[in-house]
Amino acid sequence: MQHDLVIGWDIGGAHVKAARVEHGRVLDVAQWPCPLWQGLGELDTVLAQVAARWPDLACAGHAVTMTGEMVDLFEHREAGVVALAQRLAGHLGERVAFYAGPQENGFWCALDGVAAHWARIASANWQATAQVVARRLSNAVLIDIGSTTTDLIPVRGNRIVAHGADDAGRLRTGELVYQGVVRTPLCALTQRIGFRGATWNVMNEYFATTADIYRLTGELESAHDQHPAADGCGKDAEATRRRLARMIGHDARDATEAEWNAFAHQWRDLQLAHLATNLTRVLAACAPSRDAVVVVAAGCGAFLGEAVAASCGYEAVRFATLIETRAEVADWAQVCAPAAAVALLLAQANERAQRADAALA
């Protein structure tokens, strides 16, 4: 067993993210598409791909966080947490620890404790990332924008001060916004939008997603655009313009490329404004601080997080700059922040336990 090797896992409903940490340093990170709503077999397939990338998985400790319990494959979240935990333990063995919220180095459950603590394990990935941020910065707000959701997590005095304890609570407070930069249907962003000097009703159909916006603005990296387009067709500029045009009953040939690019930027501005409104709401609910607030941008939508910060007048840094990582994988550590965070937290917990054992020896 390599006691200094930890693999961090973030098991989502649409992706699996994993980070490899050795001696407290992130050495490798990857993400695989995993449409979990189609069945647990999707997870099995991804785990086989991870094992091919890292053949020494059996030698590692494993730190797991998840949001995949929310998919409609499961009757309720408790069933989802238990089923995912059992599946992972079956593949990874006994050295699997499930993250159940922040303590000094996280609160960890073995498989036999998952059923009792499922509510703490469910969708706790944001807490792991924020816990790492809180160790580095006294006053900050984490903006983690992924393919599907946005987390807005305030930190004060090196403590997480989020008012929502779970997804339901965070949806109420604005700390969770169900919008991302890849999978969100465009009809979720607005009911009316401007085009060619007029305002149009938006078609409430799954014709296009936010990935179409950010392909045309040039901000979404192709490596992070892993799910099929709304119509199952191409992701080139022509196919993307065709999907955007459908949102207001047009064809791509009805306007120029420049006009459709400007149209994409209008959608971007709408999403940015909505996220900025929620950021303002979240920070207003926190106790005021004399110290400046730093925005920590994470996720494949970190570019949008930085834009939200700028629109609200805040300095922004990227999550990857707060942790020790190989330069070659810093961008992926940014995208897969919760996976990197749980790996680092478990590695620190293991190190602390080893020191305590040595002191008693």
- For residue 181, the tally of other CB atoms under 10 A from its CB is 28
CA 353 to the chain's CA centroid? 29
Same domain, 100 and 16: yes
Same domain, 131 and 205: no
What angle in degrees, to the nearest 10, is found between the helix axes of 77-92 and 41-53? 40
Same domain, 19 and 125: yes
Same domain, 48 and 121: yes
Q: What is the dihedral of CA 208, 334, 14, 75, to 10 degrees?
A: -130
Same domain, 49 and 132: yes
Same domain, 55 and 120: yes
Spatial separation of the C-alpha atoms in residues 289 and 265, rounded to whole Å: 34
On whether residue 118 sits in a domain, the answer given is yes
pLDDT reported for residue 358: 65
Closest CA to 208 of 179, 242, 177: 242
Same domain, 223 and 104: no
Spatial separation of the C-alpha atoms in residues 246 and 291, rounded to whole Å: 47
Number of structural domains in the chain? 2
The CATH number of whichever domain residue 218 belongs to comes to 3.30.420.190
On whether residue 234 sits in a domain, the answer given is yes
pLDDT reported for residue 1: 44
Going from the first residue of the chain to its last (361 residues), give the mean pLDDT of each consecutive group of 10, the final group possibly shorter.
82 97 96 97 97 95 97 97 97 94 83 96 97 96 97 96 94 97 98 96 98 98 95 98 98 97 98 97 81 92 98 96 96 97 94 70 61
pLDDT one-digit tens code per residue, 153-166 = 999 999 999 999 99
Contact 264, 213 (CB under 8 A): yes
Domain that holds residue 23: 5-136+324-360
On whether residue 232 sits in a domain, the answer given is yes
On whether residue 145 sits in a domain, the answer given is no
On whether residue 164 sits in a domain, the answer given is no
Spatial separation of the C-alpha atoms in residues 238 and 224, rounded to whole Å: 20
Closest CA to 191 of 200, 178, 179, 180: 200
On whether residue 132 sits in a domain, the answer given is yes
On whether residue 39 sits in a domain, the answer given is yes
pLDDT reported for residue 85: 98
Spatial separation of the C-alpha atoms in residues 266 and 268, rounded to whole Å: 5
CA 296 to the chain's CA centroid? 13
Contact 314, 73 (CB under 8 A): no
pLDDT reported for residue 288: 65
Same domain, 100 and 217: no
Q: State which of 266, 288, 309 marks the end of a domain.
A: 266
Closest CA to 81 of 33, 121, 35: 121
Q: State which of 240, 266, 292 marks the end of a domain.
A: 266
Q: State which of 198, 231, 266 marks the end of a domain.
A: 266
pLDDT reported for residue 229: 97
On whether residue 166 sits in a domain, the answer given is no
Same domain, 337 and 256: no
Same domain, 15 and 115: yes
pLDDT reported for residue 102: 87
Same domain, 28 and 124: yes
The CATH number of whichever domain residue 100 belongs to comes to 3.30.420.40
Same domain, 212 and 95: no
